[in-house]
Amino acid sequence: MQDGKLPERDEYRGLLLSGELVNLDDESLHIRQNGRGGWVATRFTPGKGEEYLVDEHRLVAFESDPDRRASPGGLHYRRYWRLDPYHGIRQAAARFIGFEEGC
């Protein structure tokens, strides 16, 4: 985002699908499209009243445009799972931790 505006769509960026940040209160704030032209914002704070299984997941990142700078590395996430009495263990949330070199 620059000057309060989203970048124009191009063949490498595509459309903004979602966003995430973690604030100083350890809350994950997520925004995503709702599929009907609007947005859904959610807040997740681990350890607030519920127990979770936690794992970490890494995704390979690459830059498809040779004229742009190289990728800062793979994407590193922490995933939170909880027991649903009807469906078993389901992912409740995911938090972006950072980039990881060599991934």
Alpha helix (H) residue ranges in the chain: none
Distance CA 77, CA 93 (A): 10
pTM of the predicted protein model: 0.65
pLDDT digits (tens, 9 = 90+) for 30-44: 888 888 888 899 888
Non-local (6+) Cβ contacts of 52 within 8 A are 46, 80, 81, 82, 92
Instruction: pLDDT band for 56, please (50, 70, 90 cuts).
Output: very high
Distance CA 86, CA 6 (A): 40
For 59-76, b/e burial (b = at least 16 CB within 10 A) is eeeeeeeeeeeeeeebbb
pLDDT bin (cut points 50, 70, 90) of residue 86 is: very high
Residue 30, pLDDT score:
87
